[in-house]
Chain A
Amino acid sequence: MVAKKRSSMGSLNQQAVDQTNQQLSAKEIEVLTRTSLDWTKLKPKTADTALYDQLIKEVKESTEKNENLAQLRSRLESLGKEGLSLAKEVISLIP
């Protein structure tokens, strides 16, 4: 288990770390270059979420209108006589 609070021996240890980094600097650069990846090139070039949200909102509104229209008949039927007279009223509005 690694100690939570480092000893003052840490500054001495840092010398060992620095020396190792210096000895292996060329090798480390080679490893880092070989194992690096420009992730931005893999990022999908798709439209902004804002544009999607806007279009989705418009489609949703249109869908809701269709759903209401599709339910019109059953709603009118469930209204019984009142529904029938309402339907007649709507039809009479058509010139």
Chain B
Amino acid sequence: MLQYKNLKLLAFVIIFSQCASVPQSVVDLSSQVGDDIISIQSSYAQLVDAYYERLIDDRLDYLDNEWYPAYVKNWMRIGRLQEIAKGDIVWSEDDEKFTEVTEETPSMETINTLQIWVEEALWTYQEKKEELINPLITDRDTLKYSINVAFNNLTKANAEITAHLNSLRKVKEQQDQLLEELKLKRIRDQINEALIDASAKAGKGLEKVREADAKLEEINK
């Protein structure tokens, strides 16, 4: 017969934790899920990058092979490249227009005008590129941010669950040690097994009640 003091100690031990067990594999599984979430996050980010890179490449292909060649053609005509190259005209920043070359016009002005012409062409390429690509980059970054927020929430939550499971396990180990010292662990295990068995029987009983209910409903119809 258990002594009263031991009974009180047993009650104290039971308060320590619930009877349900937490095997190490549960903690390991939860930890593994955490690692795998990080791996999936990385794959997801790479997939988003690869997809947007394809979209960006398509737009750059249009810029390089269609828009820019057409623009250069127009710019050569409107910007009077041939006349500049021949040394017939130069650009006047003061008048904001082309002026005819006179004998007094230094040849350096022709080189400066050519340089301005080229800089305009380069400037235009950069501006058009940004116009085509920047919206995609913004969308890609916003999408990646929202994906990272979601994955980070999952990772943080899973880490807390793992820590909690681990803490339950530690408490369980302490409980087992105390029960072992009191030579009561076997009794606790027997109670647990009996409870599991009773729960299974109750489950089967519920199934039979449901079957009976279904038959009654059929008869009533």
Can you list, as one digit per residue, whether each of B138-157 has a CB less than 8 Å from chain A (1) or not (0)? 01101100110110011011
Q: Which residues of A contact B99 (CB under 8 A)?
A: none
Contact of A52 among B96, B143, B153, B167 (CB under 8 A): B153
Q: Contact between A35 and B59 (Cβ–Cβ < 8 Å)?
A: yes
Task: Give Cα A35–Cα B135 distance, bound, in whole angstroms.
Answer: 11
Q: How close is A49's CB to chain B, nearest CB, in angstroms?
A: 6
Q: Contact between A70 and B171 (Cβ–Cβ < 8 Å)?
A: yes
Q: Contact between A2 and B66 (Cβ–Cβ < 8 Å)?
A: no
Q: Which residues of A contact B153 (CB under 8 A)?
A: 46-47, 49, 52
B211 at the interface (CB under 8 A from A): no
Q: Contact between B12 and A90 (Cβ–Cβ < 8 Å)?
A: yes
User: Please, which residue of chain A has its CB at the minimum distance from the CB of B122?
Assistant: A2
With A12-B79, A16-B71, A73-B174 given, is the CB distance from A63 to B164 under 8 Å?
A: yes
With A2-B123, A35-B55, A52-B157 given, is the CB distance from A46 to B150 under 8 Å?
A: yes
Contact of B9 among A52, A70, A91 (CB under 8 A): A91
Chain B CB count within 10 A is highest, among A16, A67, A72, for A16
Q: How close is B33's CB to chain A, nearest CB, in angstroms?
A: 15
Contact of A8 among B5, B93, B157 (CB under 8 A): B93
Q: Contact between A56 and B157 (Cβ–Cβ < 8 Å)?
A: yes
A69 at the interface (CB under 8 A from B): yes
Q: How close is A94's CB to chain B, nearest CB, in angstroms?
A: 5
With A31-B62, A69-B171 given, is the CB distance from A20 to B71 under 8 Å?
A: yes
With A12-B78, A70-B174, A91-B8 given, is the CB distance from A39 to B163 under 8 Å?
A: no
Residue ranges of B at the interface with A (Cβ–Cβ < 8 Å): 5, 8-9, 11-12, 15-17, 48, 51-52, 55, 58-59, 62, 66-67, 70-71, 74-75, 77-79, 91, 93, 96, 116-117, 119-124, 126, 128, 132, 136, 139-140, 142-143, 146-147, 149-150, 153-154, 156-157, 160-161, 163-164, 167-168, 170-171, 173-174, 177-178
